[in-house]
Amino acid sequence: MHEGNHSVFLKKGHYLAPKYQTANFDDLLVGVTKYKSPTATGVWHSHEKPMISFVLYGSNTEYRKGKITERTAGSVNYYHAYEQHKNEYRQFPSKHISLELDAAFLTKYHYTEEHIEFAVKNSQEAAFTFLKLMNEALADDIQSPHSVEMLFIDFIENRSISHEDTPLPLWMKTVRDVLNDRWNETISLNELAHHVAVHPTTISKYFRRYFRCTLGEYTRKLKVKRSFEIMRNANYSLTETAFMCGFSDQSHFTRTFKAMTGCLPKDYLKF
C-alpha cells in the first residue's frame, strides 16, 4: 500500500489496537494500547495530536518517511500531528504507552514540537519517564494530573534544544557507541580513554555536559533498558536477568530498577 492512500485518521484518544485505555489529564492524554494475540496490523494512519509512543513490551516494525525502524521494548518515538506511518507487529503480546499533546500544553509552556521531538530523540530518560507516567496514570488520584504534567515538563527541560551546548565531538560519539555496544560489560574509564585516544580526565570533564549524567549512571540506564525485554522471557528469573544485565546481584538490580522507573521489576512484569 502506498503511503498516503487509504490512510486512517485517528482522533484524540483513538487507536488501531483491538484493546486500549485512555486517561485524560487536562492538556495531556495517556493511552495504553495492547495487542494480546496475533492479529492483522500494518495499516497506514495518522493522529490528530502530536504523540509520543513507548514500547512497554513486544516489538513492531515501523514504516514512515521512507524509513523502516525496528521498535523493541524500551523504544520511544515521536510522531507529529497528521504524520503518516504504519506498524507491523512481530511479537505478541505487545503493549505500548502513548502520550498525546494538546496545542494548549505547548502554548502554556512556550514549547514547540521541535522541543519535544528533540527531547525524545536525545534522552536516555525517555523510557523511564514513560514508566513513571504510567504509574501516575494508574494511581488515578487527585494529584495524578499535576504529577503527569510535572514529570513530562521535567523530562523536556532536561533535554530541550535551548539547553543543548554543542554537537557531540567524534571521540565522544565513539565513547557512546562503545558503551552501547558493550552495555552488559564493566568498562573502566581508562579502557574507554585508551579506546578513543583521549585522556581519562577529558572524558570525566565532558561526559556530564553531553549526557546530563555520570558515566556510572549512563551505563546503569543502558542495563535497565535492556532488562525490559529480558524479563519478559519466561526462561529467566530475576536473578538471572540481573546477572545477564551486568548487575552484581538481584538486590542491586532491583534497587537500580526502582530508582530509575519508579516501580519494582516484579511490578513491571504485571503491566
The per-residue pLDDT for range 140-171, each reduced to its tens digit, is: 889 999 999 999 999 998 875 444 456 889 99
Sign of CA dihedral 3, 51, 99, 10: negative
Q: Is 48 helix (H, G, I), strand (E, B) or coil?
A: coil
Distance from C-alpha of 149 to C-alpha of 161, rounded to nearest angstrom: 19
| Cα 51 versus chain centre, distance | 13
Evaluate whether 254 touches 231 at the Cβ level (below 8 Å).
no
> Nine-digit cell at 89?
507487529
Q: What is the pLDDT, as a whole number, of residue 65?
A: 85
Q: What is the pLDDT, as a whole number, of residue 166?
A: 61
Distance from C-alpha of 117 to C-alpha of 148, rounded to nearest angstrom: 18
> Nine-digit cell at 14?
483513538
Distance from C-alpha of 142 to C-alpha of 152, rounded to nearest angstrom: 17
Evaluate whether 153 touches 110 at the Cβ level (below 8 Å).
no
Q: What is the pLDDT, as a whole number, of residue 110?
A: 93
Q: What is the pLDDT, as a whole number, of residue 5?
A: 54
In the predicted model, residues of the chain with pLDDT beneath 70 are 1-5, 160-166
Q: What is the pLDDT, as a whole number, of residue 3?
A: 44
